[in-house]
Structure 1
Amino acid sequence: MNASAGGNVSVQQRRVEIIRQLHRDGYVEAKKLSGEFGVDTSTIRRDLDVLVRSGQAERTHGGAKAVGGAALDVPYAVKEFERRQQKVAIAAHATARVREGDSVVLDSGSTTFQVAMALRNIPDLTFITNDLRIATLLAAVPDVRLFLAGGELLNSVFTLTGPRATEFFSDFSATWAFLGADALDSEAGITNTNTREVPVKRAMIEAASTSIVVADSSKFESRTLARVAALDEVDHLVTDVGLDTAIAAKYGSRLERVDFEQ
Structure 2
Amino acid sequence: MLREERTERILQYVTQHGFARIQEIMELCNVSRPTAVRDLIRMENEGLLIRTHGGARAIRKTATFEPRHRWKESQHAEEKKKIAALAKELVEEGDTVLLDSGTTTLMLARELASFKNITVITNDIMIAMTLSANDDIQLVMLGGQRRKGVYSLIGPFAEMLLNQLNVDKAFIGAASVDLNRGITNSNIEEITLKKTILDISQRNILLVDSSKFNNVGFVKVADLDRIHTIITDGGIRHKDSLLEQLQEMNIDVRIAH
TM-score normalised per structure 1: 0.74
1:4 is aligned to: none
- For 2:115, which of 89, 113, 122 is the aligned residue? 122
SS of the residue 1:157 aligns to:
coil
Q: Percent identity?
A: 31
Distance 1:201 1:134 in 2: 16
Distance 1:168 1:193 in 2: 25
List structure 1 runs of 4+ shifted beyond 6 angstroms: none
Q: Given the alignment of the two structures, is residue 96 of structure 1 paired with residue 114 of structure 2, yes or no? A: no
Q: Is the 8 A contact 1:90 1:240 kept in 2?
A: yes
127 and 59 in structure 1: CA distance in 2 versus 1, 3 angstrom threshold: same
Q: Given the alignment of the two structures, is residue 250 of structure 1 paired with residue 230 of structure 2, yes or no? A: no
21 and 132 in structure 1: CA distance in 2 versus 1, 3 angstrom threshold: closer
Q: Which runs of 5+ in 2 are unaligned?
A: 1-6, 13-24, 30-34, 60-66
21 and 204 in structure 1: CA distance in 2 versus 1, 3 angstrom threshold: closer
66 and 194 in structure 1: CA distance in 2 versus 1, 3 angstrom threshold: farther
SS of the residue 1:242 aligns to:
helix
Q: Is the 8 A contact 2:40 2:51 kept in 1?
A: no
Amino acid at match of 2:37: E
Aligned length: 221
1:235 is aligned to: 228
1:158-179 CA distance string (max 9 Å, x none): 1111111111211110111000
Q: Is the 8 A contact 1:89 1:258 kept in 2?
A: no
Counterparts of 1:39-78 in structure 2, within 5 Å, are 59-61=52-54, 63-64=55-56, 75-78=68-71
Q: Is the 8 A contact 1:22 1:28 kept in 2?
A: no
31 and 197 in structure 1: CA distance in 2 versus 1, 3 angstrom threshold: closer
Once superposed, what is the RMSD of the aligned Cα atoms? 3.1
Amino acid at match of 2:246: Y
Distance 2:196 2:9 in 1: 32
SS of the residue 2:241 aligns to:
helix
Amino acid at match of 2:223: A
1:59-92 CA distance string (max 9 Å, x none): 442x42789xxxxxx9312111111111111112
SS of the residue 1:121 aligns to:
coil
- How far residue 23 of structure 1 moved from its aligned partner, in angstroms, is 4.1
TM-score normalised per structure 2: 0.76
230 and 65 in structure 1: CA distance in 2 versus 1, 3 angstrom threshold: farther
Q: Is the 8 A contact 1:21 1:28 kept in 2?
A: no
Distance 1:200 1:58 in 2: 35
Q: Is the 8 A contact 2:174 2:185 kept in 1?
A: yes
Distance 1:66 1:224 in 2: 25
Q: Is the 8 A contact 1:107 1:177 kept in 2?
A: yes
1:169-190 CA distance string (max 9 Å, x none): 1111011100000110000000
1:66-125 CA distance string (max 9 Å, x none): 89xxxxxx9312111111111111112122121111111110000011111122222111
Q: Is the 8 A contact 2:186 2:217 kept in 1?
A: yes
